[in-house]
Amino acid sequence: MLLAGVASAQPRHGFSIYSDLARPAGFSHFSYVEPDAPKGGTFRQGTTVTFNTTNRLRFPGKAPNELTYVYDTLMVRALDEPASFYGLLAESVDVASDFTTAKFVLRPEARWHDGSRVTSEDIVFTFETLRDHGLPLYRSTLETVSLTALSDCIVVIETSTPGDWRPLELVSTFPIHPKHHWASEPLDRLSAKIPLGSGPYRVVSLDANNAVVLDAVPDYWARDLPVNRGLWNFDRIETLYFRDQTAMIEAVNAGVLDAHREIDASAWHGLYSGPAFDRGDLVRSTFPDPRGGRLTALTFNLRNPPLDDRRVREALTLAFDGAWTRETLFHGLYGPPGNLYGPTDLAASGAAGAGERALLQPFLDDLPGGILEAPGPTEIDSLTRRDRLRRADRLLRDAGLVVVDGQRVDPSSGDQLSLRFVGTRRSVDRVLAPYAASLGRLGIELEMVIYDYIVGRDVILSHDFDLTITTFHSGFPPGRDERIYWHSERAREPGYALAGAEDPALDATIEAMNESTDEASILDASRAFERIMQWQTYLLPLWRNEQNWFVHKKETRFPERFVASGFHYFPYIYRKQDLQ
């Protein structure tokens, strides 16, 4: 019966998964913003990631990242609470204790940029379209979800998965689209249509070869809400498109861009210099990553033999000289990759605790020995290059791959083991060229194929590769990304499950993450998950960066308690004219 599971609590201004909301109704602003930041001016940023559609509801297709600022969401997640959400389009929300039902009441003042009201029909349209045409991960998440518009301002979300709050998270935080704007548009095709939003900015122009320009909406309906105070401080955003990283760095050094987030240690070490830095007009700022840093790794495609053999994956890992790469190529700015979750409580350490053992016990017959005693195999950086290659050779021979005339071959076919790396950044050449040479000593050929971003993204998401580079960023609570990338339910469909792992033990730990509503159970699940990831060698960890690097003009400022949460840093910054 509709509404049978509606929450035991009264409607509130938000909801929290693990504890009570830290902020009361009518709170002033989030603590990680500058609430009285000055407004005005134009902000220019750069990117090499282009787009081929403006329709964010369909897959495949890549929409401009800047459309994030055009749409509003039902709720806004607080960055300094474990899993708390506060109302934006939603004035109140009533959530069932088992997350099977949520009733959202929309704010009557919420408006699209054409002046029409945001209604519950827009909510239903957004998620029904996403379920039919969106990314596979969205489709599968929304399979269990039904949406009902009870009135113009009330919409009810119901799921058939008690205890799983991830569908509610998706519905709460995905941008809402206007039904009337897209009604005449074929939603199964790419679109160049200028989108209509309800958010703080509207699109002025879109050119995938030049720039995306957004203007602030002068009468933005939600400007004064607590979740928006201190944000959206510029009148105009111009995102300029560059053919490659070199061209974009030149634009940064010339003062063309107001701020730029750098992720490459080599560029950070030696490419940002010149008169503007000498005068102090351009500034380099570093912020610690609050989530333990970003792990960069090579992902193995287990769908392609012999990468489905753990011994082969371990041999390929041994052939990579991580210590030499980090010190020689990246000037020691990257740290050892360590574990999947970095220096956080999510990471496994030492012998498995009781909760971890309980999760792993049913699967021990199929897991590597030693998984309960240590979080991963012995650290290979302590071995010499020669010792690593000797061990790799033994593993490859154990897997049935022998050397014939200097080539590593499968005796059953006589074919050389040849691996195909697919990427979208030419800067990986300097990392992979030494790795290719090392693999060559084992008789393995490594082919490197670099595409432009749009083509490469489609190739990678269709899983037409053996190896590709990926980046992982831990966050509390875990579970969402782990399900997207590693659950076997996604292994056989196009999308972000790049490795194609089909591991019942891994699935069990992911499900435990998503079903747990107390911190102790979450930590047990994440630590058990990490043990499996390390012992099964699903990744070749390369390095970890625990810093966020920014180059910016001196008048471009960050909030005092800025949370460096990734590439979407623009909403938080502002321009301070008086620097005295």
Q: How far apart are alpha carbons 142 and 128 in whole angstroms?
A: 8
- Work out the number of other CB atoms within 10 angstroms of the CB of residue 20: 8
Q: How far apart are alpha carbons 304 and 298 in whole angstroms?
A: 15
Burial 71-94 (b: 16+ CB within 10 A, else e): bbbbbbebbebebbbbbbbbbbbb
Please tell me the predicted confidence (pLDDT) of residue 519: 85
Please name the amino acid found at residue 514.
N
Q: Which two tokens stand for residue 497?
A: 């499950």
Give the 3-state secondary structure percentages of the chain, helix then strand then coil, rounded to 5. Answer: 30, 20, 50
CB 576, CB 555: distance < 8 Å: yes
Burial 325-356 (b: 16+ CB within 10 A, else e): bbeeebeebbeebbbbbbbbebbbeeebbebb
Q: How far apart are alpha carbons 168 and 150 in whole angstroms?
A: 18
Q: How far apart are alpha carbons 272 and 232 in whole angstroms?
A: 27
Backbone angles phi, psi at 509, to 5 degrees: -70, -35
Please name the amino acid found at residue 530.
E
Q: How far apart are alpha carbons 401 and 412 in whole angstroms?
A: 10
Burial 104-114 (b: 16+ CB within 10 A, else e): bbbbeebbbbe
Q: In what order do the strands lie in the sheet with 42-47?
A: 42-47, 236-241, 211-216, 201-206
HEC sequence for 1-69: CCCCCCCCCCCECEEECCCCCCCCCCCCCCCCCCCCCCCCCEEEEEECCCCCCCCCCCCCCCCCHHHHH
Short-list 455, 425, 43, CA closest to 264: 425
Per DSSP, what are the bridge partners of residue 472? 295
Q: Which helix (H) or strand (E) holds 385?
A: helix 385-398
Short-list 123, 120, 129, 128, CA closest to 57: 129
Strand locations in 455-503, DSSP E? 467-473
- ∠ Cα 25 29 35 (to 5°): 155
The CA–CA distances, whole Å, from 171 to 174, 253, 263, 399, 465 equal 6, 41, 31, 46, 32
Please tell me the predicted confidence (pLDDT) of residue 6: 36
Short-list 410, 440, 443, CA closest to 309: 410
Please tell me the predicted confidence (pLDDT) of residue 2: 31
CA 263 to chain centre: 14
Q: How far apart are alpha carbons 503 and 494 in whole angstroms?
A: 18
Q: Which helix (H) or strand (E) holds 349?
A: none
Q: Which two tokens stand for residue 541?
A: 């960890």
The CA–CA distances, whole Å, from 373 to 349, 437, 491, 578 equal 9, 35, 29, 58
Place of tokens 């909406």: 217
Residuewise pLDDT in 10s, the chain (580 residues): 233 333 445 789 999 987 789 999 999 999 999 999 999 999 999 999 889 999 999 888 889 999 999 999 999 999 988 889 999 999 999 999 889 999 999 999 999 999 999 999 999 999 999 999 988 778 888 999 999 999 999 999 999 988 888 899 999 999 999 999 988 877 767 788 899 999 999 999 998 888 999 999 999 999 999 999 999 999 999 999 998 899 999 999 999 999 999 999 999 999 998 899 999 999 999 998 888 889 999 999 999 999 999 999 999 999 999 999 999 999 999 999 988 898 889 999 999 999 999 999 999 999 999 999 999 886 666 788 899 999 999 999 999 999 999 999 999 899 999 999 999 988 899 999 999 999 999 999 999 999 988 899 899 999 999 999 999 988 778 888 898 899 998 898 888 899 999 999 999 999 999 888 788 999 999 999 999 999 999 999 999 999 999 999 999 999 998 886 666 788 999 998 644 3
The CA–CA distances, whole Å, from 365 to 88, 371, 454, 504 equal 49, 11, 42, 12
Q: Which two tokens stand for residue 174?
A: 């995905």
The CA–CA distances, whole Å, from 374 to 369, 388, 530 equal 10, 20, 11
pTM of the model: 0.88
Q: How many CA atoms lie within 13 A of 301 on its CB side?
A: 23
Q: How far apart are alpha carbons 517 and 484 in whole angstroms?
A: 20
- Work out the number of other CB atoms within 10 angstroms of the CB of residue 580: 2
The CA–CA distances, whole Å, from 83 to 127, 169, 518, 524 equal 22, 9, 11, 18
Place of tokens 């302590």: 382
